[in-house]
Amino acid sequence: MSKGLHHHQQRHQGLNQFGKELIRRSGAKCELCEASGVKLVVFEVPPIPPEPDIDHCLFVCDTCLEQLKTPRKRDPDHWHCLARTVWTPIPAVQALAVYLLRYLENRADWVPPLLDELYLPPEVASWAEKIEL
C-alpha cells in the first residue's frame, strides 16, 4: 500500500468518526440546502487542516457537493437556500455559504442585497476569504 493511499484511508476514517455528531448537529439535513431524506457526505471546508477537524466539516447532499466541486455547474436557483442557511451559527457552514454567495454575486440579482445585510463575525469573514474551491 502506498503511503498516500494509507494516509487517505486514515483521513477518511477520521472524517467518518464525525458522522454521528454531524447527524445530530444537522438534523440529518444538508447543512447548505436543508435537503432531507437524501444521502449526506462529509465536506471539509478549506483550508484543510493537517488532521481532520469537525469544526471544518459539514454535511452536504450530492447536489451541493457536485456544485461545490464544479464551479461551472453552480446554479443560482439551487443556491437560493443560502438566503436562510447563511445565518447559521456554525462557522464552517457560514464561511462556505459566504464564499458561495460571493461567487454568485454577479450572477444573481438577489445576492448583493443579501451580502449587504449580512453581519459576519470577524473570524468567519477572514475564513471565507481563504476558501478556494
Query: Which positions touch Zn ion (CB under 5 A)?
Result: 30, 32-33, 35, 61, 64
Pull the grid cell for residue 47. Answer: 483550508
35 vs 8, 39, 79, 95, 128, CA distance in Å? 28, 9, 12, 19, 23
- Please identify, using beta-carbon distances, which residue of 35 and 83 lies nearer to Zn ion: 35
Q: Supply φ then ψ for residue 109, to 5 degrees.
A: -75, -10
Q: Length of the chain in residues, anyone?
A: 133
Complex with Zn ion: residue 34 or 129, whichever CB lies closer: 34
CB nearer Zn ion, residue 66 or residue 123: 66
C-beta separation of 74 from 67 below 8 A? yes
Q: Which is nearer to Zn ion, 30 or 82 (CB)?
A: 30
User: Is omega for the bond preceding 50 within 30 degrees of 0, making it cis?
Assistant: no
